[in-house]
Amino acid sequence: MQFKGDFEKASVGDLVSENYVFAAVLHYFGISFYQYQTDSLEKVCHKHKVNPRQLASQLESWAQQKDPSLEDLYLNPIEVLVAYLKKKHYYFVRQELPFLSNLISGIKPEPGYETLMTDLRIMFPLFVEDFIHHIHEEESRLFKRIQLLQDIEEGEFRVHDALTILEKDPVQYLADHHEIHDDEMEGIRKLTKDYLLEENAPLTMKVLYHELQNFEKELSIHAKIEDELLFPKAVELEKEALRKIRKQIQTN
């Protein structure tokens, strides 16, 4: 990735303006960009004992990251799909949410944005709490259920025990009660007027809105993968396991 001018001599604000993703890279290294907008990257890196080339390398790495398409994921077995979703959960909880929380709690509101930031500081922690609860629920119920189905397929349970497991909390019940977290972002969308900003808005707000919008897109894709790929595959796995177990019982 090429930068205009001298990368290390450029101000943090200019670098972030050129590529908003750089704000997240700085956060990854423990640096809140909004505290050092007018300082040179060289000065900030010296203060935080970070090599500027490490930052450039990390940004290059992030730019090259590409998630698999729905088609790619569809072709993989269900355990690969679960592993991918778990990895995304970890990324949301360990990287994206802390970065957003840091921006919302740390940005000093400029004139005209005080009320908005006050409301966001109330609303966002509630969203985070609910979202993390949803992830734990999904991993402890749905992902565990899928693992049980695979164990049954591999004959790790006695026939009648397997039948008892299969008839309790079927996947379709979990699918029917699955929450779509795009709706949880509705309040933030309304508050930000669908992430609408003036052209001359402060850089801090541009970065914040960009990150919120990007996170919402990721959640929407994540929900689509679960609803269109994971649940149908899990329902089919359960049907097949149930068919085999009932056939074994009839045979015996």
Strands (E), 30-72: none
Q: Are 202 and 112 in contact (CB under 8 A)?
A: no
Residues 6+ apart with CB under 8 A from 13: 33, 37, 38, 203
208 pLDDT higher than 80: yes
Contacts of 224 (CB under 8 A, 6+ apart): 70
Using CA atoms, how far residue 186 sits from 98, 160, 182, 232, in Å, is 20, 46, 7, 27
Q: Supply the mean pLDDT for the chain.
A: 88
Give the 3-state secondary structure of residue 195: coil
Q: Which single residue is written with the structure tokens 């009839």?
A: 250
Summarize the confidence of residues 95-105 as an average pLDDT.
96
pLDDT band at 183 (very low <50, low <70, confident <90, very high): low
CA distance 18 to 239: 52
Residue 40: helix, strand or coil by DSSP?
strand
Report pLDDT for 211.
96
β-pair partners for 40: 11
Task: Note whether 44 and 13 are within 8 A (CB).
Answer: no
Give the model's confidence band at 223: pLDDT under 50 very low, under 70 low, under 90 confident, else very high. confident
* Residue 106, SS3 per DSSP: helix
CB atoms inside a 10 Å sphere around CB 28? 15
- Give residue-wise pLDDT tens across range 6-44: 888 999 999 999 999 999 999 999 999 999 999 999 999
Does residue 174 carry a pLDDT above 90? no
Contact between 204 and 117 (Cβ < 8 Å): no
Lowest-pLDDT choice from 73-77, 109-113, 157-161, 211-215 = 157-161
Helix or strand (DSSP H, E) at 38: none
**53/122 Cα distance (integer angstroms):** 37
The predicted model gives 40-65 an average pLDDT of 90
Query: How much is the average pLDDT of 130-154?
Result: 87
d(CA 162, CA 177): 24
| pLDDT recorded at residue 179 | 55
Least confident of 38-52, 67-81, 202-216: 67-81
